[in-house]
Structure 1
């Protein structure tokens, strides 16, 4: 009888320890998933802030209207600022996404799947936008080169990594368009008639150059 009680107590202790371990693992896994999903929300949120919306508007007006950049210092500086600000946002996205990937050995868990779905449209749009805006900035002042090599390379890495995450061939194609200047970009901007830059804006009463 005594031996039976001791065996029962031992089995009961093992079961209790196993349940405690299972509960701890469940709580840890749930906490980690919650933390990863918060990172996803933060990374996505950076692309839709008020400042990001303003930068995207600045670049979007030039891109979708196929309008040249005014070489006037004020507009060119504004466009240059927006251009680099968006490159840096995608650099931050790429870094954050890499952290999420490494934590799960490169597999796409629920957090990565959510992130990729949320940012796909943003990234795909800028595959063409960055190419077009960079060309317009260069044409507006060839004496002031656009030094963005490292940031453009990071964006390219983001596109390639994101493309590997999708099975949809159309999505893959959009993400690698412009990659080596041989893929055909399907962006509708290429069908827009080129427009001249907007005239330089002057304060009311300011003299027009050459008339003062």
Structure 2
């Protein structure tokens, strides 16, 4: 009889340990997912990508022609922004594999405005960079932005002003 009780207690302890391990794993995964989403948003909104966005925004608003140095700088900014969208799309696809889609939706809602705005602005940037000649060879790089545009359209917008205390 003592063996049966010991077996039952051991089994219950093992099941409890497994439950705690699974909960810890899920909690760690959720923290990592949100950290990835936060870092991707930070990548888009700070540092060299923010400078690239500023340069390209000025390009769209200006009407003058570009001298060779300005064109080189604008082209660098263009690909800096596109490559950032590639990194975000890779992160988005990674978050899509998570059992909980909360971090994915957080990312999408954080980048929504940026994606929608650059979807509108990039054709004009491309036109300005071409300046009567061949447009930039960016087919592979623009695919990520297209995939992000689709993802943004697929995920309903969430009003986060209440959650943040604004409003």
Range into which the TM-score falls when normalised by the shorter chain? 0.7 to 0.9
2: distance between equivalents of 1:73 and 1:133?
Answer: 16
Give the C-alpha shift of residue 144 in structure 1.
Answer: 4.4
1: distance between equivalents of 2:134 and 2:106?
Answer: 40
Q: Which runs of 4+ in 1 moved over 4 A?
A: none
Question: What is the Cα-based RMSD across aligned positions, in Å?
Answer: 1.9
TM-score of the aligned structures, taking structure 2 as reference length? 0.84
Distance 1:157 1:123, change over 3 A: same
TM-score of the aligned structures, taking structure 1 as reference length? 0.67
**Residue-pair matches, total:** 158
More helix by share: 2
1: distance between equivalents of 2:139 and 2:64?
Answer: 21
Distance 1:165 1:68, change over 3 A: same
Contact 1:100–1:112 under 8 Å retained in 2: yes
Where 2:55 maps in the other structure, the secondary structure is: helix
Give the C-alpha shift of residue 11 in structure 1.
Answer: 2.2
* CA deviation map 1:98-117 (0-9, x unaligned): 1221344xxx6221121111
Distance 1:149 1:69, change over 3 A: farther
Match of 2:154 in 1: 164
Unmatched runs of 5 consecutive residues or more in structure 2? 159-167
Q: 1:49 aligns with which of 46, 49, 52?
A: 46
1: distance between equivalents of 2:47 and 2:125?
Answer: 21
Give the C-alpha shift of residue 133 in structure 1.
Answer: 1.0
Q: Does 1:145 align with 2:140?
A: no
